[in-house]
C-alpha cells in the first residue's frame, strides 16, 4: 500500500533522513517511534508528498509520487487524512468549517449538511458543542482533537497521525487510541502514526518501527519490540536518559 524506499532528505546541509525504508500493508497500523528531532514528522510528510525526497522513492497504491503532476497528487491526497503535530487548524475558520473543509470542497453537500457531518465527527473525538468556536478559543488538546476530526472527516483510506495523543490527559489519550483502533477495525483504514507514548504505541500498532540516526533501525510487532535486546530501542522504550543514545546536557 505505502512503500518508502531509501529516502534521503537534508535541509540546508543538515541530514535528517539517510535511507529510510518502510513498508505499510493495506489495513495495517504502523507506529513510528524515535527521539525528538529524529525526523519522524519529516518522514510522515514524505508519505503525502508535502516534502520531496532528495533521493529515493515513495509509492502509494503502487504509484510513484514523483511521477504525479499537481492534479494527480491532489486526486491521490483525497484518499488521505492527516493530523499535524501542531494541529494546523485554519484559524480564520470556525471549528466546524475546519472539520468540514474537505467535504465542502470535494463533495456537493450543502453547508447545513456539511455542518451536520462535522458535528458528528466532533462528537467522535469528544468535542460536542465546540462546532461554533474559533480555533483560538480552544486548548491545545482540543485543537488536536479538532485536527483529528478534520483528518477523518472524508473517511479516508489512509490516515497519518503525527502524535495524536500528545498534550491530552491520560483518559482522553486512551479514548483517542480507541478511536484510532475503531477507525482501523470498522473502516479498514491503513495508518501510520507517530508517538512518543509507548503505552499508546503498544495499543494501536500492528508494527512498530524505530527511527534513529536517519534510518529505521528496527521494525517488529509490539511483542517483539517489548522483548528486543537492541540497546538503543531498549533505552528508548524504557525512557532512560543514560544509554547508547546520548542526551546533550547529561554528561556521562
Partner 1 sequence: MLIKLIEAIGAFIEKPAEGIGRCMLLLYSVLKHIVKPPFEIRNIFKQMLEIGVNSLPVVLVTAIFTGMVLALQSYTGFKRFGAEGLVGSVVALSMTRELGPVLSALIVTGRAGAAMAAELGTMRVTEQIDALETLATNPVKYLIVPRFLSGAIMLPALTVVTDIIGIMGGYFVTVILLGASSKAYLRATWDFLKQQDIYNGLTKACFFGAAFALISCYKGFYAKGGAEGVGRATTGAVVVSSMTILISDYFLSAWLFK
Provide, rounded to whole angstroms, the least separation between the CB of residue 155 and ligand ATP.
Answer: 26
Contact 7, 55 (CB under 8 A): yes
The residue range among 41-49, 173-181, 194-202, 205-213 that interacts with partner 1, by the rule CB under 8 A, is: 41-49
Provide, rounded to whole angstroms, the least separation between the CB of residue 211 and Mg ion.
Answer: 11
Question: 191 burial class (0-12, 13-18, 19+ CB within 10 angstroms)?
Answer: buried
168 counts as binding partner 1 under rule CB under 8 A = no
Among 105, 182, 188, 199, binds partner 1 (CB under 8 A): 105
The residue range among 52-60, 97-105, 126-134, 190-198 that interacts with partner 1, by the rule CB under 8 A, is: 97-105
Residues 61-90, interacting with partner 1 (CB under 8 A)? 70, 74-75, 77-78, 80-82, 84, 86, 88-90
The secondary structure of 84-129 as a DSSP string is: -TT----TTS-HHHHHTHHHHHHS---HHHHHHHHHHHHHHTT-TT
Residue 236 interacts with which of Mg ion, ligand ATP, partner 1, none, CB < 5 to 8 Å by class? none
12 counts as binding partner 1 under rule CB under 8 A = no
Q: What residues pair up with 20 in beta bridges, in sequence order?
A: 7
b vs e for 73-99, b when ≥16 Cβ sit within 10 Å of the residue's Cβ? Answer: eeebbeebbbbbbebebeeeebbbbbb
Contact footprint for ligand ATP (CB under 6 A)? 11, 16, 34, 36-42, 85
What is the sign of the dihedral through the CA atoms of 70, 71, 76 and 77?
positive
Residue 16 interacts with which of partner 1, Mg ion, ligand ATP, none, CB < 5 to 8 Å by class? ligand ATP
Amino acid at each position: 500500500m505505502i512503500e518508502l524506499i531509501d529516502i534521503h532528505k537534508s535541509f540546508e546541509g543538515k541530514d535528517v533522513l539517510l535511507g529510510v525504508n518502510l513498508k505499510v500493508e493495506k489495513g495495517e497500523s504502523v507506529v513510528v517511534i524515535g527521539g525528538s528531532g529524529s525526523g519522524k514528522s519529516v518522514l510522515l510528510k514524505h508519505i503525502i508528498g508535502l516534502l520531496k525526497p532528495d533521493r529515493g522513492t515513495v509509492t502509494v497504491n503502487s504509484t510513484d509520487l514523483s511521477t504525479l503532476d499537481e492534479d494527480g497528487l491532489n486526486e491521490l491526497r483525497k484518499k488521505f487524512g492527516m493530523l499535524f503535530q501542531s494541529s494546523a487548524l485554519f484559524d480564520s475558520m470556525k471549528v466546524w468549517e475546519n472539520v468540514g473543509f474537505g467535504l465542502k470542497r470535494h463533495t456537493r453537500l450543502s453547508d447545513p449538511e456539511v455542518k451536520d457531518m462535522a458535528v458528528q465527527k466532533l462528537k467522535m473525538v469528544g468535542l460536542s458543542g465546540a462546532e461554533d468556536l474559533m480555533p483560538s478559543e480552544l486548548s491545545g488538546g482540543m485543537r488536536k482533537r479538532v485536527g483529528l476530526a478534520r483528518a477523518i472527516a472524508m473517511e479516508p483510506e489512509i490516515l497519518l497521525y503525527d502524535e495524536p495523543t500528545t498534550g491530552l490527559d491520560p483518559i482522553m489519550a486512551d479514548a483517542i487510541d480507541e478511536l484510532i483502533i475503531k477507525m482501523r477495525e470498522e473502516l479498514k483504514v491503513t495508518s501510520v502514526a507517530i508517538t512518543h507514548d509507548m503505552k499508546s504505541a503498544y495499543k494501536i500498532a500492528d508494527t512498530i518501527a524505530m527511527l534513529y540516526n536517519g534510518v529505521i533501525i528496527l521494525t517488529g510487532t509490539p511483542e517483539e519490540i517489548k522483548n528486543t535486546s537492541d540497546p538503543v530501542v531498549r533505552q528508548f522504550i524504557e525512557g532512560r536518559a543514560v544509554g547508547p543514545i546520548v542526551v546533550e546536557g547529561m554528561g556521562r
